[in-house]
A and B are shown apart, each in its own frame.
Chain A
C-alpha cells in the first residue's frame, strides 16, 4: 500500500478533530454518566434499572422496524422505476423526493398532526362526502406514519443510487438465458441492490427507534417511546445518569440489530455496510 503523504494526512485532519470533539467525547460522557450517580460515584444501579423500561424499549424498536419495512416496500419499486427513466424525469422525481426535506422536521410533524386529527383536513373531507370520521391521531399507526413520512427519503436515496449504477447488461443477459421477470428480480436485481437496502435500512431504522418528537405530537404522548423517556430524563427529571444509561443500552441494541442486518446483506468478506 502506498504511504500516505503529509498533505493527505492533513486534509483528513479537520474531520478527525471534528469527530474527536463531537463524536468521541460525547460518547465518553454518555458512558461515564451511565455508570455514575449524581455525586459522581461509580454505580451500576442505573444500568440495572433499565428492566423497568424494557417494554418501552421493545415497543420503540418494533415500531421503528415496522416503519423501516414500510419505507422499504414503498421505496424499492419507486427507486427501481426512477433508475430506469430518462435523465429529465429522474431529476424531477429526485426533487419531489427531496422537497419535503427542505422543511424542518418539527414543522412537517406538526402539520401532520393537524392533518390527521379528528377535526383535521382528512376527517373534514371524509365527513363532507358522508363517509364519517376515522380516528387516526394519537395511535401507534399515526406514529409509524410520521416516521415513514419523515425518513423515507433516506431509504429512497441509497436505493436509487445503487440501482442507477446497476449494470443493465446483467439483466439483459439473464433475460437472454430465459429468466422470467420474477427470476430476474429475485436472482439479479435483489442481490445487487442489497447494499442499498442495508444502508437505507440503517438510515431509517436508527432515527425511527430513537425519535422523540414524532411520538409526542402524533402519539399524543400517551404511550412513550424510548426517545421520549430519555428526553424526559434530561429535560424535566434532571436525571442525566438514567438518561445516559438508557441511551447506552439503546445504542447497544441498535448495534445488535445492525449486526443482524449485516448478516443478510454482505458476504462476510466485503465488509458489509457501515453500522
Chain B
C-alpha cells in the first residue's frame, strides 16, 4: 500500500472539504450524454491509480462512477509485454489502456489505436507542453500523457561504502550477493547498454551480444532477478543495490529512510505512459469522458500523490498543494542534475526475438549439472536392478508352480 507524505494529509483534507460541493471542473461536460448505466473497461498497470480516500486522496474510479453514472470495470497488467497480446488477440474489449511510449509506437504502427479528439476535451489544456508532440505520437492524435518516470539506481546508504554514481556499481564485487537486477529484458539490457555507450534501441546483434555477456558476468554477484519483490527486499535491507523506477523508490523511501536514489552519470531510460483508446473499444464516448476526468487537476493530483511518479499535468504542477512534491529532487531534478535520458523505441520483431533468446540464455547460464548425471545414473541402475530382480523372482515362482514335484 502506497502512502502519501504525512504533512499533506491535513492540507489536502482541508482543501477537499472546502471544495466538497463542486470538486471537478466542467461537471456539466459529463452530464446528459445518455451514457448513464453503460460500462467502461479500463486496462491499466497494477498500483497505477489512486483507489482510496485515505489521507485526502480520492478513489478515482468511484468518483468517476458517481459523477457520470458509468460503471468502471478496472483490470490491471504487469508489463507492456503482458498487455500487448491481450489487446492484439482481441480476447477482451477495453476502452482505455495506458501503455508506455515504445509500446504506443508499436500499437499505432499496427493500427491498434483509435484517434482521440483532444480538441473536444475541456481538460486537455492541462497537458504540459513538454509532453506534447512526443516522438511516438508527433501530432498527439492517439495518446494523452498520464505519467512520466525514469529508471535510476536505488541503494541502501548503510550498506554501500560510498554513494554510487555509475551503473558500474552493479558490477562491484564488494557488493556481491547484495545486488538485485530488474527482471525484464529491455530494462536489464538498458544498463550495460548505457555503460558501454550503446543506444537503448540498438538493433546491432554484436552490441546486443556484448550486453548479454556483461549480464552473464554480473550473474555470480547477483542476489536475484526481481520485480515486485524489490519492495520487500529493499525495505527490509536484504539487498543493497537495485535499478528501478523512481516512483517506486519514492514509496519505498517512506518505509526505509536509509534508501537513496541516484541517476547514474552514464544516462538513464525515461518513459511516458499515456492513455490510449484501443481499436476494440466498445464505449468510445465514455472513454473520452474518462480521459477528460483523469486530466482534471484534482484527480491528476490524487493520482500523482498515490503513484509517486512525476506528472505531465500542468494543472497539478501549478497547484499550490503540489509544491512540496515539486521539491522532491528525485522526481523533479534541477536542470543541472538532470541526467542524460533516452526513450525506448519500438524494435523490429527480429531484434525482439534476438533479445528474448539472449535473455533466456542469461537466465539458464551457470547451472552446473554434472552431479545430476551421476544422480540419474544411480536411479537408472537401481531401476534396472529392481526390474531384473522382479523378473527373476516371478520366473522362479512360475517355475515353482509349474513343476511342484521338483520342489518336494
Contacts and interface: CB of A to CB of B under 8 A. Distances in A.
Contacts of B177: 135
Contact of B372 (A58, A138, A224): A58
B375 A224 contact: no
Contacts of A113: 229, 232
Chain A interface mostly helix, strand, loop or mixed?
helix
Given A236-B82, A238-B81, A224 B363 contact: yes
B185 interface: yes
B183 interface: yes
A32 interface: no
A72 to B, nearest CB: 14
Contacts of A224: 360, 363-364, 367
B237 A236 contact: no
A33 B372 CA distance: 31
A232 interface: yes
A237 B224 contact: no
Chain B interface size, as a band, is 35 or more
B223 A235 contact: no
Interface string B235-272: 01110000000000000000000000000000000000
Interface string B360-385: 11011011010011011001000100
B356 interface: yes
A119 B237 contact: yes
Given A62-B369, A235-B81, A117 B236 contact: yes
Contact of A58 (B79, B232, B361, B369): B369
Given A65-B379, A138-B223, A221-B226, A232 B363 contact: yes
Contacts of A235: 81-82
A237 B79 contact: no
Chain B interface mostly helix, strand, loop or mixed?
helix
A254 interface: no
A239 B353 contact: yes
A42 interface: no
A55 interface: yes
Given A55-B367, A56-B367, A235-B81, A263 B383 contact: yes
A263 B387 contact: yes
Nearest to A240: B85
B225 A220 contact: yes
Contacts of A232: 356, 359-360, 363
A218 to B, nearest CB: 10
Contact of A119 (B184, B225, B236, B359): B236
B232 A221 contact: no
Interface of B: 79, 81-82, 84-85, 177, 183-185, 219, 222-226, 229, 232-233, 236-238, 352-353, 356-357, 359-361, 363-364, 366-367, 369, 372-373, 375-376, 379, 383, 386-387
Interface of A: 52-53, 55-56, 58-59, 62, 65, 113-114, 117-119, 135, 138, 217, 219-224, 228-229, 232-233, 235-239, 260, 263-264
Given A138-B224, A232-B359, 7 more contacts: A113-B229, A117-B233, A117-B238, A135-B177, A229-B360, A232-B360, A237-B185
